[in-house]
Structure 1
């Protein structure tokens, strides 16, 4: 066997083949060992005894222990105790005052016992510890135990295999598991409500590197409270003994759920304000019902819902008051989803009219004009959400777990409903989501209401104007004509442009294009009056200048009416046109085989100005020649020079010369008239035939 040098304190080393490294507990207690023979003489004196009593081994060995360590008044008591231990073999333990070499008295904890060697000799072993050290250790242990058991911080010790060795009550509450359910199990088996793999990887790095990890935030739903997300701040430190041997990892966990929820609430509030701001800028960019509905759907997904559909009552789109009883007829005008493959919340494709029974949630929403919230849907709820059982099965297969419907209310009238569903988003809809959805739906409903009234007014103006425009004769002597009318993109711009072609006496034809300044229904009505008057004056076989003079006199009597007009009379027998302008743009003439050009004519003044004579100009118009009359909406824009636009018109007419006149009109409009232009356009193209 190997030996250990005990003559010098702190110089011991483990015996060869020892199974484990020494711990620091004995060093912490500094237990002194003293062996006495049957006479009470010291025969063994440990280095710790030297530290405790102050005497060296040379000074203590061979001397009577009582005389060396005890005050004289306690000799009899010590001798009696020594005799009892040696005779009966009964251990004795207790505190006893001893005399230190420096003369001071110290209270020392003793445990005395009898020893027998292989020769039958008897000895007394005394183990001694300074009572102050014992008290300190007991106090530290008690304090540590109290701190661990009563601390609100979750504490645990894990071994090097990441198995729980001990957990305190706070951590039991956090995990929702008792200590028995945790001790001996791996982290991955206990933290099933977290990303346990990431936690284990972090713990392994701490074990390997010794670098602590502090304030690492994790969140999950523990078994003790699965309906609420909790958050924790975790710190990991490597545990080592005095010799540096790695024992495991200490984890400390602080519950920061309230702080986490407050941060989420603040972030949620910021996101909702941003969503409302985005909605204000994105919804209602046009006066179009479907476009507004699509804008609402794009704003809602994915920030508020995973799937959304916008339903408008069919009666509202038809301009009727919505019915508040019986089934409801909806038209789905827009849908959106996080994934294109996902159906709408009601599984209805856009554009289709669907009838929902009175027991459906969508119907209840518009009937009561109140939101309908189903935080966690059941199969029965899905049947009440969808229109048919097949649609309900589709929603169930998609994974819809939360549903919300809010009414589209504008100016006290219900227009329809907004349906929202959550699939991938784990959290269900709540009251805050309902308030936000109502805010967005209200903004969109106002825009939809504006759009439908705009559309109604625009349809009225268009209907009036188209009714006022003429039905051209199917045949005109020696002349082929084609014409087009395009309304402006905005309802306020509809109104003043018109064209006409009239068969006159002597196989002659009158061609007219005019434009009443202003817009809207009033301009359309004034245009109808001027067109009727023009037809009446044309029937009198008057010269073009005289026709314009009569129209000018008539227009003067109509308040706030100014109009431009080009009046042309074609005589096929003479092969000649006679034309007069009232403040109108010059027509374009295309000679057979030649490029188009603008006629050089006196422009005159607009009708309604009064006090100015009009001039008539004649020009030849032979078979194959083409004449184009148009209004300013064709060539005038806000950004392009008028000369450049007129040049483009001439290029288009030249390129289409000899083609079918209807194709010519379409080509000219395609090249010069953008979709949704600011002004309406009237275009009339005539070709002389043999």
Structure 2
């Protein structure tokens, strides 16, 4: 008996000293014994468990009693997860234990259960955080493919609004900061003018919110409003279960609060669209009805998405600005070529790359010279965009100013090359000059790295003229040569840029052969000839800008 008591004491010391929670339950799942570790985990004295069930002692703990009854019934040990909150303080957002229960028997009689559990809250939280991180990365990867697919500001904003609903919000709005609309009165002092660029979400919510603002509307945001605070500080603003007073600060008119309530909106989140200099706008998210308030994780995800989208929106705005400036510049320069002498016939075409407007560096010109001669010019500045268009305008102006003072086409190219390098043009340009002399029936040609001109003859023949190609303009290398060829009556001299013939995956000689293999009729209007060329050689969207300049001598009589 003494020996058994000693063994019992040793066992009790082991159980009370272990960091694992140990409990003995009777057949009705009432506690007969708990060790000190279990008391610490529960935040109550161990004695408080005795004679009571888990629900009675710790009502916020969730454990499947059904599994425990299965162990009592068949004697098979089982593991289960126990989750919830206890009265003990904990650094973990969510507590979890892993427990194993065994049936206790004595000579075939079931006495109850013995459970042993260890807390795995730290591991669970780590796994939850890891899973959330993976989900966030997957979300951002998906956003990278679905947001910013074009260089259009409105399209990018619409893609962002569509992406965050309904996964992150019941309704979303993207506002962008932009210049005052043309003809609109200036913004009130102290306010910031924004434009509603996109909305998305539950149709019923959007129908209500249309009473406050629609896509394209401009809104003046005063200081003190959550949206203005977000834009001024670059930090998100969260209004969970917001009061009417909070919504009053978010809206322009007092009556708008009733509209927000009618839409069922109870929580809002405003996230800036950040760039390195300043936000380009803000993403407004709303939750309504049975949706829960925004969590800290929601804010982090929204910030990540907004940061990605802001880069695309800023790039789209910069592109739009540059695109518009280049378009206006090139329209001014390419509205019509100069007027040649009346003894030659001229037609031209300009086809921009893809489906965009004019934003390249191609140009053409006709410059009348003394002795009834006309200088035909075809050029191509390397690259696209506003910088290329500006360089193009410089080269075109140079050639126009030098044409009357230079006696030869090769000398004209040499002067333009030298002066272009001298004024610091950082874009090279290929150029082809053709001095048309109707009295002699000839064309004198010189090339600065440009593709060879084509002579369209009768009977459907097309010849490429072997003009010696010097270096491009701007390289300041010189070394240009001239070639004089006869222009037979009725023949058409064609100058063009590489967009007409070049294909990215095809050798240039093969591409030029596509031109020379065409069986063109040249006795019709020049406009029809150019249309036929484009139909056969550029049937779809052009890979590069295409410029064409066709010249034919008038037949006497």
TM-score (norm 2): 0.66
Q: 1:643 to 1:662 in 2, by over 3 A?
A: closer
Contact 2:458 2:522 in 1 (8 A): no
Residues 261-660 of structure 1 mapped to structure 2, 5 A cutoff: 261-265=125-129, 289=153, 310-315=174-179, 326-333=190-197, 352-355=216-219, 357-358=221-222, 360-377=225-242, 381=246, 388-389=256-257, 392-393=260-261, 396=264, 401=267, 403-406=269-272, 408-411=274-277, 413-420=278-285, 428-430=294-296, 441=306, 445=310, 448-449=313-314, 452-453=317-318, 455-472=320-337, 479=345, 481-486=347-352, 496-501=361-366, 511-516=376-381, 520=388, 523-530=391-398, 532-533=400-401, 537=404, 548-549=409-410, 551-552=412-413, 554-560=415-421, 563-567=430-434, 569=436, 578=443, 580-583=445-448, 584-590=450-456, 594=460, 597-605=462-470, 610=478, 612-620=480-488, 622=490, 628-636=494-502, 639-649=505-515, 660=528
Shift of 1:185: 8.5
Instruction: State the secondary structure of the residue aligned to 1:241.
Output: strand
Residues 183-262 of structure 1 mapped to structure 2, 5 A cutoff: 183=53, 199=64, 202-203=67-68, 206-207=71-72, 209-214=74-79, 216-220=80-84, 229-246=93-110, 250-262=114-126
Q: 1:185 to 1:366 in 2, by over 3 A?
A: closer
Instruction: State the secondary structure of the residue aligned to 1:235.
Output: strand
Larger radius of gyration: 1
Q: How far apart are the structure 1 equivalents of 2:148 and 2:466?
A: 46
Instruction: State the secondary structure of the residue aligned to 2:451.
Output: coil
Instruction: State the secondary structure of the residue aligned to 1:363.
Output: helix
Which fold has the larger relative contact order, with Cα–Cα distance below 8 Å and residues 6 or more apart in sequence? 2
- Any unmatched runs of 5+ in structure 2? 422-427
Contact 2:205 2:263 in 1 (8 A): no
Q: After superposition, give the CA deviation of every residue in 1:654-682 in whole Å (9 maximum; x if it has no partner).
A: 6999895675476467447645x4xx542
Shift of 1:617: 1.2
Contact 1:330 1:354 in 2 (8 A): yes
Q: How far apart are the structure 1 equivalents of 2:542 and 2:220?
A: 41
Q: 1:611 to 1:251 in 2, by over 3 A?
A: closer
Shift of 1:193: 7.7
Contact 1:513 1:684 in 2 (8 A): yes
Contact 2:271 2:303 in 1 (8 A): no
Q: 1:153 to 1:301 in 2, by over 3 A?
A: farther
Q: After superposition, give the CA deviation of every residue in 1:42-101 in whole Å (9 maximum; x if it has no partner).
A: xxxxxxxxxxxxxxxxxxxxxxxxxxxxxxxxxxxxxxxxxxxxxxxxxxxxxxxxxxxx
Q: How far apart are the structure 2 equivalents of 1:333 and 1:655?
A: 52
Shift of 1:364: 2.8
Q: 1:591 to 1:616 in 2, by over 3 A?
A: closer
TM-score (norm 1): 0.56
Instruction: State the secondary structure of the residue aligned to 2:295.
Output: coil
Q: 1:627 to 1:603 in 2, by over 3 A?
A: same
Shift of 1:484: 0.7
Residues 10-25 of structure 1 mapped to structure 2, 5 A cutoff: none
Shift of 1:456: 3.3
Q: How far apart are the structure 2 equivalents of 1:402 and 1:652?
A: 65
Contact 2:454 2:494 in 1 (8 A): yes
Q: How far apart are the structure 2 equivalents of 1:655 and 1:383?
A: 73
Q: How far apart are the structure 2 equivalents of 1:328 and 1:168?
A: 68
Q: How far apart are the structure 1 equivalents of 2:26 and 2:204?
A: 47
Q: After superposition, give the CA deviation of every residue in 1:113-147 in whole Å (9 maximum; x if it has no partner).
A: xxxxxxxxxxxxxxxxx8x59x949977x969x96
Instruction: State the secondary structure of the residue aligned to 1:564.
Output: strand
Q: CA RMSD in A?
A: 6.1
Q: How far apart are the structure 2 equivalents of 1:552 and 1:597?
A: 26
Residue in 1 that maps onto 2:424:
none
Contact 2:454 2:462 in 1 (8 A): yes
